Amino acid sequence: MERQDTLAESKGYFRLRRRIIKMRIAICDDEKNVINEIKHIVFNYGKSHRFEIVIDCFSCGEELINSKESYDIIYLDYQMGRINGMQTAYILREKNINCTLIFITAYPDFVYESFAVDPFRFLVKPIDSTKITETLDAYFEKYGNDYPVLLQIDRETIPIETSNIVFLEAMGKHCIIHTKDNQLECAKTMAVIARMMPRDHFFKINKAFIVNFDYISRYNKTVIFFKNDEYAYISRNYYTAFKVAYRRYSLNKRPM
């Protein structure tokens, strides 16, 4: 039986409702405790990264194959009932389902066989929460974690891709959103807008500016320069934390 859970169950959902898109994940395993463990870890990851995640749970390959939903990621157990994970994966690929497959297995010897269905990663039982987190990090490093947000600009609600935002600038109770093409004034505070941004590459550099690491061309101890020729001043109190976070992000960032 298919079961659906969402982050709406958590108290943090009010921060996510304004998203246009959400991530949909399937977990297919005949061990209920494994499903619950993975679901818990993925939900916590989504909450900490401000992603809205919907999870569908399946106890056998047949249920997953018959699902009408499209998934970003499928966690798929190798050893199941009448049809195993490899057979399920073959059928999914034959149906032109090109989602990211992550195999869960206690039998790692089948790894070479699985290359035919193009898996993204393998998780070995018993489940290790760190490995699931690392796998999700790798997924977003490869495919990105930007998304559109709905904002009120000039009394109209419009979608703005976070990937197009260079930096945010506080202006009293309003926020100036500097995109790569123009500037937009939103009747919300910078703090409110900041809660909608991806956590890993937007960073506060003083009380009035939050910058997108992806647009930084160079910086020194007082000024950050952006690729669109704009710049912002960095506070001395924020400089060390910024430098550490930006360096970590740059080292982990993989070319697309």
What pLDDT shows up at residue 14?
Answer: 29
Compute the distance between CA of residue 106 and CA of residue 122 in angstroms, rounded to an integer.
Answer: 10
Q: Could you tell me which CATH number the domain at 3-143 has? A: 3.40.50.2300
Q: Do domains 3-143 and 148-252 have the same CATH topology?
A: no
Pick the CATH number of 148-252 from 3.65.10.10, 2.40.50.1020, 3.40.50.80, 1.25.40.10: 2.40.50.1020
146-201 pLDDT per residue, tens: 877 888 888 888 888 898 999 999 999 999 999 998 999 999 999 999 988 887 78
Tell me: the pLDDT tens digits for 230-246?
Answer: 999 999 999 999 999 99
Domain boundaries, the chain: 3-143, 148-252
What is the per-residue pLDDT across 98-126, written as a single tens digit (0 to 9) for each?
789 999 988 777 676 777 788 899 898 89
